[in-house]
A = this chain, B = another copy of it.
Amino acid sequence: MLYEINEKIIKLEMEGRKIIKLNIGDPDQQTPMEIIKTAINAMKKGKTKYASAAGEMRLREALAEIHEVDADNIVITPGSKWGVFAVMYLLLSKGDNIIIPSPHWTAYELAAKSLGVDVKLVKTRLESNWEVNVEDLKAAINNKTKLIILNNPNNPTSKVMNEKTVEKIVSIANERGIKILSDEVYADISFVKTKSLLEFEGEHIVVRSFSKTFAMTGWRIGYVIADKTLTDKIVKLNQITVTNVPVFLQEAALKALELRNQIIKVMRKKYQKRADLACKIFLDTKLKFTKPEAPFYIFPKSEGLNSETFSFNLLDKGVAVAPRTSFGDYLEHFRISLTAPDDEIELGLKIIAEAFK
């Protein structure tokens, strides 16, 4: 259905229709100009050559300081998605399985399928505040389970995991010798305190990104934090695949880190405002939802809804949302991405609300 929806968007736009796109998690904001300027200067200075497959040492050191690890524990990757894939490629074999709380980002599942790895989804529910049932997760583990993927804060629910739950999952994983990969790309700009997996016991893996925090999605730069044995393997994999992230982009990322506190403050405030607006507009509708604790999404539910048909038909009213297709078995849910210009978001949300009055 995703295909049909995308085709319809293209068709409508070609007919001159304006579509408010709340279907993709790509910030409407521009990358801050100081970051762009740094990239430009680096380019002009000839920072356009082959470079370390681990990433530039200055950038790795700056990240190491933020995360209180060693630079050896950091590898710069062309996006956090490459980090996720690299970890799965290196740790998993055909026939292994991984466990993912659902709803979940589709890329984890597609990467697993591509590697011949089975996926065991542990379903969470809006009615239980999207809490992971640790017993369900435990029951899903078998001797072929090699990895648990947590996405904290979560896409599409924008829910931050309960610390006690994470602690229990970590303890199970440590007991069974299973690695956890924690995708924390929304953590920097979450509205509530989000404890990184790095702060828990055990040698686990964290992926982070510059994409969401600094509106740098199309720059393709993220990083993996892991034990040196694994980061060394990722570096070797980078050497035979992507080589390195362009140095001029890495210098821009370093500038982003310098401006980090200031940018995070602005971004968080902007997204918090949008999340509040969505909650307000949906308040007197039939939509059920949990209040977003992080950017950019809201994942409402309407009893009995077929979100695929709904999303397809909603396009006629000029609004695009993502049906459940991409996030697991959640036919009554759809995902709204609050990443369009503010006026478009407001109009889009009102059109959606109208359908559920």
**What is the interface of chain A, defined by CB distance below 8 A to chain B?**
24, 26, 30-31, 36, 39-40, 43-44, 46-51, 78-79, 81-82, 85, 94, 107, 110-111, 114, 215-220, 236-237, 239-249
B-chain residues with CB within 8 Å of residue A246 when the two chains form the complex: 218-220, 249
A85 touches B47 (CB 8 A): no
B78 touches A242 (CB 8 A): yes
State the Cβ distance, A84 to closest chain B Cβ, in Å. 9
B36 touches A240 (CB 8 A): no
A218 touches B82 (CB 8 A): no
A220 touches B239 (CB 8 A): no
B-chain residues with CB within 8 Å of residue A39 when the two chains form the complex: 43
Select A81's contact among B44, B94, B241, beta carbons within 8 Å.
B241
A217 touches B26 (CB 8 A): no
B85 touches A241 (CB 8 A): yes
Residue of B nearest to A45 (CB): B30
Select A244's contact among B220, B242, B249, beta carbons within 8 Å.
B220
B50 touches A219 (CB 8 A): no
A110 and B235 CA atoms in complex are apart in Å by 13
A82 and B78 CA atoms in complex are apart in Å by 12
**Copies of the protein in its oligomer:** 2
Extra inter-chain contacts (14) besides given A48-B219, A218-B248, CB under 8 Å: A26-B49, A26-B50, A31-B48, A36-B43, A36-B48, A40-B43, A49-B218, A50-B217, A50-B218, A78-B243, A81-B240, A82-B242, A111-B240, A218-B247
B-chain residues with CB within 8 Å of residue A243 when the two chains form the complex: 78-79, 81-82, 220
A40 and B248 CA atoms in complex are apart in Å by 11
A241 touches B82 (CB 8 A): yes
24 contacts between A and B (CB under 8 A): A26-B49, A26-B50, A31-B43, A31-B46, A36-B44, A40-B43, A47-B218, A48-B215, A48-B218, A49-B217, A50-B217, A51-B218, A78-B242, A81-B241, A81-B243, A82-B241, A85-B241, A94-B94, A114-B240, A218-B244, A218-B248, A219-B246, A220-B244, A246-B249
State the Cβ distance, A324 to closest chain B Cβ, in Å. 19
B-chain residues with CB within 8 Å of residue A51 when the two chains form the complex: 218
B-chain residues with CB within 8 Å of residue A43 when the two chains form the complex: 31, 36, 39-40
B24 touches A48 (CB 8 A): no
Residue of B nearest to A109 (CB): B240
B-chain residues with CB within 8 Å of residue A40 when the two chains form the complex: 40, 43
B-chain residues with CB within 8 Å of residue A24 when the two chains form the complex: 50
Residue of B nearest to A24 (CB): B50
**Highest count of chain B CB atoms <10 Å: which of A24, A36, A245, A246:** A246
B-chain residues with CB within 8 Å of residue A26 when the two chains form the complex: 49-50
Q: Which 7 pairs across A and B sit closest by C-beta, in order of nearness? A: A49-B218, A48-B218, A110-B240, A85-B241, A26-B50, A111-B240, A31-B48
B-chain residues with CB within 8 Å of residue A247 when the two chains form the complex: 218
A243 and B43 CA atoms in complex are apart in Å by 23
- Indicate whether A237 sits within 8 Å of B50 (C-beta atoms), given known contacts A82-B242, A242-B81: no
State the Cβ distance, A221 to closest chain B Cβ, in Å. 9
**Highest count of chain B CB atoms <10 Å: which of A78, A79, A245:** A78
State the Cβ distance, A208 to closest chain B Cβ, in Å. 16
B-chain residues with CB within 8 Å of residue A31 when the two chains form the complex: 43, 46, 48
